[in-house]
Structure 1
Amino acid sequence: MAKIASKALVVFSGGQDSTTCLGWAKNRFDFVESITFDYGQKHRVEIAQAEKIAKALHVKNTLLSLDAFSQLNDSALIDGTQDIGAHHKTHTNLPASFVPNRNAIFFTLAHAFAQKQGIEHIIIGVNQTDYSGYPDCREPFVKALELALNLGSEATITFHSPLMHLTKAETFALSDKEGVLGLVIDESHTCYNGDHSEKHDWGYGCGKCPACVLRKAGWEAYTQSI
């Protein structure tokens, strides 16, 4: 595969989707770096795993700290007293794991970082097929934000979301194709409860939270298809 002679930044959580995106970007761009956000998430193990995976792929990873989300405390991903499997306490039509405006802030900061680094492409692991009901993971939102950020900074940075229309099974297949399936299974973390002590066929996690249930189902569908 011929690589694009330009730079790419991967918004990197250390989870299955962003690890797949990091492999995808490494195979397509001449220069790749990643950015991870510490926003007070209770599954903080993903920050350590992000650093491990970035090092394994020889990618420089920058960690940005965001205290504002902890002050807002409006998600079960941050507030440990909330039930991760319940409805969101203010957005009752959404899951408790929804963090209001998280992706808008992450992508805005990534866009600013990309300008500083002279990077033309931003890779994000959002998905509107097999997802947890987050409205900021949908394609119209990404396109609208890309337009607004470029207008507001006179930039021409392109957002890429290679997983947007893939099922979780297809995401596993893509990670295999891009050569990072082993890292996805052995190192990535998506469990909302932060459980990185038990390894399953599909990777580490509690096996019960919405993220683990989705990942397990995707793995089973993927293995049945090969």
Structure 2
Amino acid sequence: MSAGKEQGKKAVVILSGGLDSTTCMGIAKDRGYELYPLTFDYGQRHSVEVAHARRVAAFYHATVHQVVKMDFLRQIGGSALTDDNVEVPTTGVGEDIPVTYVPGRNLLFLSMAGSYAEVIGANAIFIGVNALDYSGYPDCRPEFIAAVQEAIRVGTKAGVDGHPITIEAPLMHWTKAEIIREGMRLGVPYELTTSCYQGGEEACGKCDSCRLRLKGFAEAGYTDPIPYRK
């Protein structure tokens, strides 16, 4: 599933410390990119993921790991991940957009990643969005990524000068099991990651994110290496 290597190039990797973004780190590394992970501490309920992102960045010997502190998404709320008055669902993934959707999150993240990429001369931005085993988020769809890609092309000096920064979403059309199999092949350190929306030291095993993760590991034929509450 891996593509050809891109020698001598830089990539900004939007790294949450979760399974998908860490797999993106492994893929970018495998393609020969110099890694510049970018992590957002945005007041999320599961802020423990920032510490996991630091461990992943250290594992990959990232050139620089930027952690951006921003409070705006917590201030406006509107999501179970940024508003403590909204409960994290534990009933499984449905057809509707869930309350764990954070309004504008990936748009903000990609905009800031574009700024960072232009400053350091990066060729690509890696993001772990997925349109198959996802929770119904509108900012994880191919048309969203294509729209932001075009905005970055026309709205940056790099794009105007003919050196556009590309958005790489290698997991877009993979199942969670396929993502995990590729990660295992690449030696991705899943033991350093977290996916739980509850934000505990041990994963709850009940929230939508935990359910998707456990299902993926089971279908891939592996045991999830992180601890879960008994």
TM-score (norm 2): 0.87
User: Among 161, 170, 173, which residue is 1:162 paired with?
Assistant: 170
Tell me, which stretches of 5 or more residues in structure 1 are unaligned? 198-204
Kindly state the Cα deviation for residue 26 of structure 1 after the two structures are TM-superposed. Answer: 0.8
**1:109 matched to which residue of 2?**
112
1:187 counterpart = 2:195: no
Tell me, which stretches of 5 or more residues in structure 2 are unaligned? 223-230
3-state SS of paired residue (2:193): coil
3-state SS of paired residue (1:4): coil
Q: Aligned AA for 2:139? A: D
Cα distance between partner residues in 2 of 1:44 and 1:95: 19
CA contact (8 A) 2:90 2:207 kept: no
Q: For residues 1-226 of structure 1, what are the structure 2 equivalents within 5 Å?
A: 2-59=5-62, 60-85=64-89, 93-154=96-157, 155=159, 156-180=164-188, 183-184=189-190, 186-197=191-202, 205-223=203-221
Percent of aligned positions that are identical: 40
Kindly state the Cα deviation for residue 2 of structure 1 after the two structures are TM-superposed. Answer: 4.1
Question: If each structure's strand is expressed as a fraction of its own residues, which one has the higher value?
Answer: 1
3-state SS of paired residue (2:65): strand
Cα distance between partner residues in 1 of 2:51 and 2:33: 26
Q: Aligned AA for 2:167? A: F
Q: Deviations over 1:123-174 (max 9, x none)?
A: 0100001000001001110011110122011420001011000000001001
Cα distance between partner residues in 1 of 2:208 and 2:5: 38
State how many pairs are aligned.
210
**2:226 matched to which residue of 1?**
none
3-state SS of paired residue (2:125): strand
> Aligned-residue CA RMSD in angstroms?
1.7
Cα distance between partner residues in 1 of 2:31 and 2:21: 15
TM-score (norm 1): 0.89
3-state SS of paired residue (1:176): helix
Cα distance between partner residues in 2 of 1:105 and 1:49: 21
Runs of 4+ in 1 over 2 A off after TM superposition: 1-5
